[in-house]
Amino acid sequence: MTIDAALPCTASELLAVMSARLLRDGEVVFAGVGIPLLAATLAQRLHGPGLTILFEGGTIGAYVEPGQLPPSTNEQRCTRRANMVLGSTDVLLLLQRGYVDVGFMGGAQIDRYGNLNSSFIGSPQRPATRLPGSGGGNDIASLTRMIVAMKHEKRRFVERVDFVTSPGFLDGENSRRDAGLTAGGMFRVVTDLGLLGFDEHSKRMTLLAVHAGVSAAEVQANTGFELAMATELPVTEPPTDNELAVLRHLDPDRLYTA
């Protein structure tokens, strides 16, 4: 991918760095495994010593150690030096109670309204591919402000997801709220091509910025629906040497960033 040539880092590393920048010190972030966990930990090490990381497995205030990345968010290494450990039902209820600022997940398929599909490619009755399913994804996306980090490919950015596993803005406009989802909603989608948000009223996905060496046309070309474009389209700061150094220190085996 052109990105790889343009930057001295893998697409996954780019995702991790760019999404880490979206997390502010002092926030409470509910992170999924993979890029989200890595990016949240990166933010914690770079600019957010007071960033509180929650995991679905039941961890509050995680402080993941370099080279000790967990295979999921349910193993003991997620809890080392954490502030609290509790049941998975109870940690998910913190989302419902309103204690969490940001939910942070990866995505397999997303549509123009930010709905995520991690259940079925094709029809649920006779799927071409049965995917792993929601996990806590539906709960996180239903209850808090979301950041999604994923590869930007036409087959992943579709007009309408085959199955709404984790709700974005559903059919746009007020449909999310009308469905009873009064809290949260999609906030940002970070990809290896750029940074996207959602229009305040129509709730359509909008390109907010592109990464160095990427054009708006290229982003559109890799998207399966018509993107709204921000009036101004800044270019993101490429990952700094320090960001990459810390990131590679956290994941020396490229467990998440291969």
Partner 1 sequence: MSFSHDELCRRTGARDRSLREKVMSLDEAAALVPDGASVGIGGSTLSRTPLAMIWALIRARRRGLVCARGISSSEGELLFASGTSQHLITSWFSLGIVWGVSRIMRAYTESNRARFEEWSHLAIGLRFRAGAMGVPFLPMRSMLGSDVLARLPDARVIDCPFTGERLALVPALNPDIALIHVQRCDAYGNAQIDGLPFMDLDLALAANRVILTTERIVSNDQIRRRPDQTKIPFFAVDAVVEAPFGCAPHECYGIYEPFFDHLDDYAAALKPDPEQGMRDYLDRHFYEPQSWTDYLDRIGLPALLDAARRGKSIYDD
Considering only residues 159 to 188 of the shown chain, the ones binding partner 1 according to CB under 8 A are 163-167, 170, 175-176, 179-183
Nearest to 187 by CA among 171, 208, 211, 160: 208
Q: Which of 77, 155, 249, 254 binds partner 1 (CB under 8 A)?
A: 77
Binding residues for partner 1 restricted to 16-45, rule: CB under 8 A:
25-28, 33-34
Q: Which of 80, 154, 249, 254 binds partner 1 (CB under 8 A)?
A: 80
The question of whether 226 is a catalytic residue gets the answer no
Q: How far apart are CA 205 and CA 211, in angstroms?
A: 17
Query: Any contact of residue 12 with partner 1 (CB under 8 A)?
Result: no
The answer to whether 220 touches 182, Cβ cutoff 8 Å, is no
Q: Which of 10, 11, 47, 131 binds partner 1 (CB under 8 A)?
A: 131
Q: Which of 138, 202, 215, 220 binds partner 1 (CB under 8 A)?
A: 138
Nearer to partner 1 by C-beta: 73 or 223?
73
How many residues line the site for partner 1 (CB under 8 A)?
Answer: 77
How many residues are there in the chain? 258
At residue 30, the 3 state secondary structure works out as strand
Please, what is the angle between helix 11-20 and helix 35-46, to 10°? Answer: 50
Q: How far apart are CA 202 and CA 171, in angstroms?
A: 9
Buried residues in 101-138 as b, exposed as e (16+ CB within 10 A)? bbbbbbbbbbbbbbbbbbbbbeeeeeeeeebeebbbbb
Nearer to partner 1 by C-beta: 202 or 220?
202
Binding residues for partner 1 restricted to 56-75, rule: CB under 8 A:
56-61, 63, 71-72, 74-75
Binding residues for partner 1 restricted to 218-257, rule: CB under 8 A:
255-256
Report in angstroms how near the CB of residue 62 gets to partner 1 at its nearest.
9
Query: Any contact of residue 76 with partner 1 (CB under 8 A)?
Result: yes
Q: Which of 6, 86, 228, 246 binds partner 1 (CB under 8 A)?
A: 86
Nearer to partner 1 by C-beta: 139 or 227?
139
Query: Any contact of residue 123 with partner 1 (CB under 8 A)?
Result: no
Q: How far apart are CA 163 and CA 49, in angstroms?
A: 38
Distance of CA 191 to the CA centre of its chain: 9
Edge-to-edge strand ranges of the sheet holding 145-149: 84-85, 59-60, 52-55, 28-31, 102-106, 145-149, 185-190, 194-198, 205-210, 228-229
Nearer to partner 1 by C-beta: 91 or 214?
91
Of 13, 56, 65, 226, which one is the catalytic site residue? 56
Nearer to partner 1 by C-beta: 85 or 158?
85
Catalytic residues, by residue number, are 56
